[in-house]
Chain A
């Protein structure tokens, strides 16, 4: 078989023609750009670059930063010096601050912020980054735990999607506390944005990379979480980078059910129905998703009728609640119950999922329920109960009262509706005194009773 070079040349030409066509299209679009900010790569080379300001973070040592002419990279004229305080330094607990400009800069042609760093001793710097402008800090980007030592080394912080950085004011920021309670000094020099072209394989995640499914109702708001990114650096090593939600383009598969804004704020607007939230950055899909199963309009629990003066409330929007240590103790090792509490139309709801048992504690201070006669709570089981579910309620007294328990059943017919319980406290077998009540425990041994909403948990007389 004979390979004819002319043919490959022709193909190359065709490829070039195609490249040219797309190039010229891009340029035309660029010309339509209404406002443009200056392209200035330098942040600090031997002095503050044009328009650069500095402000220290609150609680930090205000004078931690200074321009240094002694210790500089490659004997250049000046570097930035940062003095980290000792622990308990009265002038501040840490060194931290922001270098920002008053006029934005166009960083869209760059792919990294780079600088050189050295320190008076080996140390691990807490946070270094850019995109903090002391305001919205919309595109804040940072790396954590940066190892430094007494030799200069280059640090590279990738720009996740430079296309979005057309008017950035946050040029650099840092935050570092004492190492083993002791202060030290580090220097940073030659801070600039660069186009390296050697950062590869960006990987993005939302919801920590999980494909989460959550049931919810119209009116509930939540936020896409678990955002992260990893880049393969010019030395072939993976680097985790903290990036803000604004870098992500969030997408809802059905905006009539669920909407999501550019910051990942999710609003359930319709249903019953299902919508999946996914995300991408610069056209690259993030792993992980959030699927919302909207059950439509939320039906609130019945409004309580007891007089407020006759009530000690643990959880309700209709009475003032006592101090509660927790609504889910996550008691190891046997508890499987998780919480997915939600807030809908002004109403807080406890939602226990994967239910076996769960404890609510109100021990600081304990509750004197001596004059109370009933325990009230409302329960809604969102799944279909197949048989009569056993529901066990325990009240625990941290004084001499011991633990009282009461077992009831929830008929299958009461699935997917609010059921109100009013249990005489005298029915709690074993509870001899209730002057120092401290815990309320729900449990079940019934299979199929996998979770429930709860509201209006209170004692009354």
Chain B
């Protein structure tokens, strides 16, 4: 019985290899094998309609200074209309239009979970529409003492709702911030990021940060390539949000569908095992 199983698996494996090599155009990446140990995660398994765990997360509230520095339009709340568990293992952040104003939510792990180096990933199904700007990102934990952009910013995933097949990975630091970050985009040739969950990740060590979509490496930033200080040898904290409007994305139009929901399946942080 056992032998039969093994044989059939072998046959099927052979078969699948043939089919893939004949059908799939994507080149295969050969990355060095790494072993990761999970050190922190939120699987968002809370009860339907509950808020994210405050042992892990803070809520940023209100309009921020100058729309959180980017002329964003939304006011952040901690209402369950804007942020809640769906009861099926997802966190939902919802951007809502009411009249001419917008509400949404932004959560951070500042002071609750701060981490240096490793692999940081989240599985997310994105929203869509012009002026919708969701992000999964990190800020240097020393932001209050050295301020931005000296603290450093790692944008694991940013996205413009009017281009639902493109995501961006960026670093902002001293000398390369705002409209001039170190950045690259990753586009799906036939598909969108708002129709299914995709895995957005960085792998981060002392001298480089690699950006991944669905485990495909699309950007490697080496410390020596950055035109400014490498400010990533210190702890960072995590952020998740949907902004509405702002310098990066432009403004929502009357055609932007509302409400818009970002579904987050999990956020996981790993350390590299030597």
Check A236 against B20 for contact (C-beta < 8 Å): no
Check A23 against B33 for contact (C-beta < 8 Å): no
A197 to B189 Cα, complex, angstroms: 7
A197 to B20 Cα, complex, angstroms: 20
A16 to B21 Cα, complex, angstroms: 12
Check A235 against B35 for contact (C-beta < 8 Å): no
Check A197 against B256 for contact (C-beta < 8 Å): no
Chain B residues with CB under 8 Å of A74's CB are: none
Given contacts A3-B36, A3-B38, A23-B19, contact A236 B256 (CB under 8 A): yes
Chain B residues with CB under 8 Å of A150's CB are: none
A184 to B105 Cα, complex, angstroms: 48
B11 (CB) vs chain A CBs: closest residue: A17
A200 to B33 Cα, complex, angstroms: 36
6 additional A-B pairs beyond A16-B20, A200-B194, A237-B256, beta carbons within 8 Å, are A3-B37, A5-B36, A21-B12, A234-B164, A235-B163, A236-B164
A23 to B163 Cα, complex, angstroms: 30
Nearest CB on B from A28, distance (A): 13
Interface residues of A in 1-22 (CB under 8 A from B): 1-5, 13, 16-17, 19-21
B260 (CB) vs chain A CBs: closest residue: A236
* B185 located at the interface, meaning its Cβ lies under 8 Å from any Cβ of chain A in the complex: no
* B188 located at the interface, meaning its Cβ lies under 8 Å from any Cβ of chain A in the complex: yes
A308 to B34 Cα, complex, angstroms: 97
Check A201 against B12 for contact (C-beta < 8 Å): no
A317 to B19 Cα, complex, angstroms: 68
Pick from A2, A20, A232, A238: contact of B16, CB below 8 A.
Answer: A20
A3 to B271 Cα, complex, angstroms: 10
* B245 located at the interface, meaning its Cβ lies under 8 Å from any Cβ of chain A in the complex: no
Interface residues of B in 228-274 (CB under 8 A from A): 253, 255-257, 270, 273
Check B164 against A17 for contact (C-beta < 8 Å): no
Given contacts A1-B37, A195-B190, A196-B190, contact A20 B164 (CB under 8 A): no
* A24 located at the interface, meaning its Cβ lies under 8 Å from any Cβ of chain B in the complex: yes
* B13 located at the interface, meaning its Cβ lies under 8 Å from any Cβ of chain A in the complex: yes
Given contacts A197-B191, A236-B161, A238-B257, contact A5 B128 (CB under 8 A): no
A-B interface pairs (CB < 8 A), number: 86
* A282 located at the interface, meaning its Cβ lies under 8 Å from any Cβ of chain B in the complex: no
Check A237 against B255 for contact (C-beta < 8 Å): yes
Nearest CB on A from B14, distance (A): 10
* A432 located at the interface, meaning its Cβ lies under 8 Å from any Cβ of chain B in the complex: no
* A383 located at the interface, meaning its Cβ lies under 8 Å from any Cβ of chain B in the complex: no
Pick from A13, A19, A196, A201: contact of B13, CB below 8 A.
Answer: A13
Map CB proximity to B onto A235-249 as digits: 1 under 8 Å, 0 otherwise: 111100000000000
* B23 located at the interface, meaning its Cβ lies under 8 Å from any Cβ of chain A in the complex: yes
Check B12 against A20 for contact (C-beta < 8 Å): yes
Given contacts A200-B164, A237-B129, contact A1 B38 (CB under 8 A): yes
A237 to B16 Cα, complex, angstroms: 38
Map CB proximity to A onto B33-67 as digits: 1 under 8 Å, 0 otherwise: 11111100000000000000000000000000000
Q: At the interface, is chain B mostly helix, strand, loop or mixed? A: loop
A324 to B31 Cα, complex, angstroms: 82
* A386 located at the interface, meaning its Cβ lies under 8 Å from any Cβ of chain B in the complex: no
A21 to B195 Cα, complex, angstroms: 24
A237 to B192 Cα, complex, angstroms: 13
* B165 located at the interface, meaning its Cβ lies under 8 Å from any Cβ of chain A in the complex: yes
A138 to B248 Cα, complex, angstroms: 45
* A121 located at the interface, meaning its Cβ lies under 8 Å from any Cβ of chain B in the complex: no
* A384 located at the interface, meaning its Cβ lies under 8 Å from any Cβ of chain B in the complex: no
Nearest CB on B from A234, distance (A): 7
Given contacts A13-B16, A198-B191, contact A2 B255 (CB under 8 A): no
Interface residues of A in 183-233 (CB under 8 A from B): 195-198, 200-201, 232
Interface residues of B in 165-210 (CB under 8 A from A): 165, 188-192, 194-195
Chain B residues with CB under 8 Å of A23's CB are: 19, 23
A-B contact pairs, 10 of them (CB 8 A): A2-B37, A4-B35, A13-B16, A196-B190, A198-B192, A200-B128, A200-B194, A235-B162, A237-B256, A238-B257
Given contacts A1-B37, A237-B129, A237-B130, contact A17 B16 (CB under 8 A): yes
Chain B residues with CB under 8 Å of A24's CB are: 15, 19
Given contacts A20-B19, A198-B191, contact A232 B35 (CB under 8 A): no
Nearest CB on B from A27, distance (A): 10
Chain A residues with CB under 8 Å of B194's CB are: 200, 232, 236
B187 (CB) vs chain A CBs: closest residue: A198
B41 (CB) vs chain A CBs: closest residue: A1
Chain A residues with CB under 8 Å of B130's CB are: 235-237
* B117 located at the interface, meaning its Cβ lies under 8 Å from any Cβ of chain A in the complex: no
Given contacts A198-B190, A200-B164, contact A20 B15 (CB under 8 A): yes
Nearest CB on B from A282, distance (A): 15
* B132 located at the interface, meaning its Cβ lies under 8 Å from any Cβ of chain A in the complex: yes
Pick from B20, B165, B270: contact of A3, CB below 8 A.
Answer: B270
Check B12 against A17 for contact (C-beta < 8 Å): yes
A198 to B162 Cα, complex, angstroms: 11
A173 to B36 Cα, complex, angstroms: 58
Nearest CB on A from B161, distance (A): 5
Check A236 against B128 for contact (C-beta < 8 Å): yes
A3 to B215 Cα, complex, angstroms: 15
B161 (CB) vs chain A CBs: closest residue: A236
A197 (CB) vs chain B CBs: closest residue: B190
Given contacts A5-B33, A23-B19, contact A236 B129 (CB under 8 A): yes
Chain B residues with CB under 8 Å of A2's CB are: 35, 37-38, 273
Check A234 against B165 for contact (C-beta < 8 Å): yes
Check B162 against A236 for contact (C-beta < 8 Å): yes
Map CB proximity to A onto B76-96 as digits: 1 under 8 Å, 0 otherwise: 000000000000000000000
A1 (CB) vs chain B CBs: closest residue: B38
Nearest CB on B from A225, distance (A): 25
What 8 pairs between A and B have smallest CB-CB spacing?
A197-B190, A236-B128, A236-B129, A20-B16, A237-B255, A20-B19, A236-B161, A17-B12
Check A238 against B255 for contact (C-beta < 8 Å): yes
Pick from A4, A13, A21, A198: contact of B164, CB below 8 A.
Answer: A198
Check B273 against A200 for contact (C-beta < 8 Å): no
Check A232 against B12 for contact (C-beta < 8 Å): no
